[in-house]
Each structure stands twice: as structure tokens, then as C-alpha cells.
Amino acid sequence: MTIRPPLLPFPLTICGIDELPAHAGAGISHVLTILDPGWPDPEHFALYPPHRRTIWRFHDIVNPQEGQTHATARDVEAILDYGAGLKDEAVEHLLIHCHMGISRSTATAIILMVQHNPGREADAFTHLAAIRPFSWPNSRMVGMADEMLDRRGALIEAMRGHHHGVARIHPDKMHYLRSSERAAEVPPEE
């Protein structure tokens, strides 16, 4: 049997704002916060021991919408720069959160997992499904990362497989996605 090295050399937690207090004692050394522009900063971090925190602000949309700010190539480049910088830091445990821990945070986690692991796109989504079973990574962010990392569609294809798996396991939640701007991402009902 071949044992593959971990995608990241440290533990990874993904959550939403309401779940932040539950992780205050988990030994988190680094936090990535992704919030809507203008959303107040969560007060939950007062419960955490000292940690390094980075904040990005953009909406969880995949298509341009009036009055909203979508993720841009600059945001994905910032994620890749962040991932490159983690190689030189003593990371004990990384926590990534957005509002619900479903889309922007999971896309960010995927980008960080595949950044230094070409050919392991499917492994990254398998790991994501294990740590965050209901996850629907922001396809705009994943698509830009696929291009920037020269994965030639492998990251997008792995994401589609993940979407199919999540839709099979959580059919009750697909109505919400089908009624949103993310409808094109939802596989047809079987």
C-alpha cells in the first residue's frame, strides 16, 4: 500500500462564524477570516490565545452582481502568497472561516491544499469532504486557482466530483443552491 504524505503539514479546521467559540481551545496558531465587506469583525477571537490572523473581504458570489464584491484574481493570488508564506512559519493549526464555513473558506482550503501538491486535486477534495462534509467551494475562486496553478481543468473536475458527492449525501440542501446564483453548479437530480 502506498501512503501519501499529507496535503498540509499541520491540522486544518474550517468553520462558520457561529462555530468559532468551539475552536478557541484547539491550539489554533493561524486564522484566515473571509467576510462580506462591511460585516463586523467577530468578537469570538477574544476567547483565543495569541494567534496570527489574516482578514479578506469579498462576497460569496460567483457572478458579478451590482453592489457586491466578488473574489478577484488578486484575492486568489493573496491566498497563494499566504500559502507560500506558511512554508516559512511554525504553523501549529490553521483555522479558516467565512460566514457559514461552506463556500469561501472551503475554496481557500482547497487552494492551499493543492498549491504545492500537483496531481492531488481529488485527494484535496476527499480530505475536504472528511473535515467539512457539507461544503460547496466557491467555483469562481477554484476556477481562477486552476488557471493560476496551471492545473488544466483538474481542479475544476475534482470540484465537480465533490459537488456530485455532496448532492448525493445532502439532497435536502440542493433546493437552496438551485434557487441561488449557484444553480449551474448543482448536478441534475438522479
Instruction: Specify the number of domains making up the chain.
Output: 1
Helix axes 121-131, 154-169, angle to 10 degrees: 30
- C-alpha span between 10 and 94 (Å, rounded): 7
Q: How confident is the model at residue 190 (pLDDT cuts 50, 70, 90)?
A: low
CA-nearest of 40, 80, 155 to 163 is 155
Does residue 42 lie within any of the structural domains? no
- Provide the CATH number for the domain around residue 167: 3.90.190.10
Judge whether 29 and 93 are in contact, CB under 8 Å: yes
Does residue 2 lie within any of the structural domains? no
Does residue 45 lie within any of the structural domains? no
Note down the domain range covering 112.
12-37+54-184
For residue range 70-89, list pLDDT tens digits in order. 999 999 999 999 999 998 88
Give the global pTM: 0.94
For residue range 99-152, list pLDDT tens digits in order. 999 999 999 999 999 999 999 999 999 999 999 999 999 999 999 999 999 999
- C-alpha span between 106 and 134 (Å, rounded): 10
